Structure 1
Amino acid sequence: MKIEILNSLEVLNSKKLLLYPTDTVWGIGCDATSKTAVKKVYQLKQRDDSKALVCLVKDLNMLSKYVKYIPDPALEYLKQTDRPTTIIYPKAQNLAKNLIAEDGSIAIRICQTEFCQLLLHDFNKPIVSTSANISGQPTPKVFAEIQDEILKGVDYVVNLQNQNNSETKPSRIIKFDEQGQVQIIRD
């Protein structure tokens, strides 16, 4: 795993694209603070850049550096769930401008897998995590379903769990507003 972390760090630090296993589906990733890197993700996915992307953080401390406000109900939810959940927070900060939604919000998930935790710790910045598919195409449930266009379009494919045929699914997505009201976007 150490070699995969080092190779991934080199890619992220070079503003290039990474294909990597997450706590949900395989993700296309890059430095979430780099406008140049984020633009490459939109181009590869053939996705309109008005649609915000998800990013991963290591823990609450890292999360607090990239959102101005964490509603108390979001903190309570995070303490109580084991399910991978992406939360849309109001008032993003210190991230690439093209990663942030038009309303100023950002979708962030605290990823608990060993690989992602180590990578996020060593990189010390959020990493984009968007499903490994062309926009509008089905989300691959296993590595073998990832389209050649995606495999050829990234700069590095992490060599972990590539043979795992256990089907995965995207995270739950919920949104909190500044008053702490919750809305379920995807269950």
Structure 2
Amino acid sequence: MTDVAHAGEVVREGGLVVYPTETVYGLGADALDAEAVERVFEAKGRARDKPVSLGVPDVETATEHVLATERETAFMYEFLPGPVTVLCQRREHVPDILTAGRELVGVRVPAHQTALALYRTAGTPVTATSANLSGRPSVTDPADLDEELLEQVDHVVDSGPTDGTESTVVDVEAGEIHRRGSLADRIEDWLDEG
């Protein structure tokens, strides 16, 4: 069994995995399983009022879990896969704990083959939050993972160092960038042109 196949199995069974993206290492669990998402918050020591994004292998899969407007869909096809988190209206089956009770959920389709393979193998949206303890720097190299976090993780997919630039978080409908990261200037131009 490959590393990614095993990681997908861990996610399906409610476990936690650390996996690479094109930005930083992520902490993954089944994003539709409230108990698994709770484990993510516990492992990170993350406040429950801070939502967590979900990762999917492509835009088509994203639309199964969010009610994307025409503009949001056009944006996703323009920028995904890529280092961008798109805020969209969640569908009813997306658990409250993931979104901290909010109606919007962040969607990630990383431009990283290992992350996409994990999402496909897991067969479910996977949490897309950085693999670090809250308040500590994001991890770009698995060698730097915090021991305290590792104690709660069931599997680490190591594919060497990542880029390190955080994804840009954007609310397309509101025309707002919530966090500037990769591609922020291009995204701003797109929003202004629309």
With the length of structure 2 as denominator, give the TM-score of the two structures: 0.84
Instruction: Identify if the C-alpha distance between structure 1 residues 3 and 91 changes in structure 2 by more than 3 Å, giving closer, same or farther.
Output: closer
Match of 2:179 in 1: 186
Q: 1:172 aligns with which of 168, 173, 179?
A: 168
Is the contact between residue 18 and residue 27 of structure 2 (CA under 8 Å) also seen in structure 1?
yes
Match of 1:108 in 2: 107
The within-5 A match list for 1:55-134 is: 55-67=54-66, 69-81=67-79, 83-134=82-133
Gaps of 5+ in 2: 181-194
After the TM superposition, which of the residue ranges 9-18 and 99-108 deviates more from structure 2? 99-108
Is the contact between residue 92 and residue 106 of structure 1 (CA under 8 Å) also seen in structure 2?
no
Three-state SS of the structure 1 residue aligned to 2:2 is helix
After the TM superposition, which of the residue ranges 26-35 and 5-14 deviates more from structure 2? 5-14
Instruction: Identify if the C-alpha distance between structure 1 residues 167 and 22 changes in structure 2 by more than 3 Å, giving closer, same or farther.
Output: closer
**Structure 2 CA distance, aligned partners of 1:23 and 1:92?**
27
Q: What displacement does 1:181 show?
A: 2.6
Is the contact between residue 142 and residue 167 of structure 1 (CA under 8 Å) also seen in structure 2?
no
Instruction: Identify if the C-alpha distance between structure 1 residues 10 and 124 changes in structure 2 by more than 3 Å, giving closer, same or farther.
Output: closer
Is the contact between residue 8 and residue 119 of structure 2 (CA under 8 Å) also seen in structure 1?
no
Is the contact between residue 65 and residue 94 of structure 1 (CA under 8 Å) also seen in structure 2?
no
**Structure 2 CA distance, aligned partners of 1:30 and 1:148?**
19
Three-state SS of the structure 2 residue aligned to 1:65 is coil
Match of 1:158 in 2: 157
Is the contact between residue 23 and residue 163 of structure 2 (CA under 8 Å) also seen in structure 1?
no
Instruction: Identify if the C-alpha distance between structure 1 residues 142 and 160 changes in structure 2 by more than 3 Å, giving closer, same or farther.
Output: closer
Counterpart of 2:150, as a letter, is L
Q: 1:46-82 deviations in whole A, cap 9, x for unaligned?
A: 1111211011011122111111x21222222223336
Q: What displacement does 1:103 show?
A: 2.6
Counterpart of 2:69, as a letter, is P
With the length of structure 1 as denominator, give the TM-score of the two structures: 0.87
Three-state SS of the structure 1 residue aligned to 2:151 is helix
Counterpart of 2:120, as a letter, is H
Counterpart of 1:74, as a letter, is E
Q: How many residues of Structure 1 are paired with residues of Structure 2 in the alignment?
A: 179
Q: Does 1:45 align with 2:30?
A: no
**Structure 1 CA distance, aligned partners of 2:12 and 2:102?**
28
Instruction: Identify if the C-alpha distance between structure 1 residues 136 and 183 changes in structure 2 by more than 3 Å, giving closer, same or farther.
Output: same
Three-state SS of the structure 1 residue aligned to 2:90 is coil
Instruction: Identify if the C-alpha distance between structure 1 residues 146 and 185 changes in structure 2 by more than 3 Å, giving closer, same or farther.
Output: same
Is the contact between residue 48 and residue 100 of structure 2 (CA under 8 Å) also seen in structure 1?
no
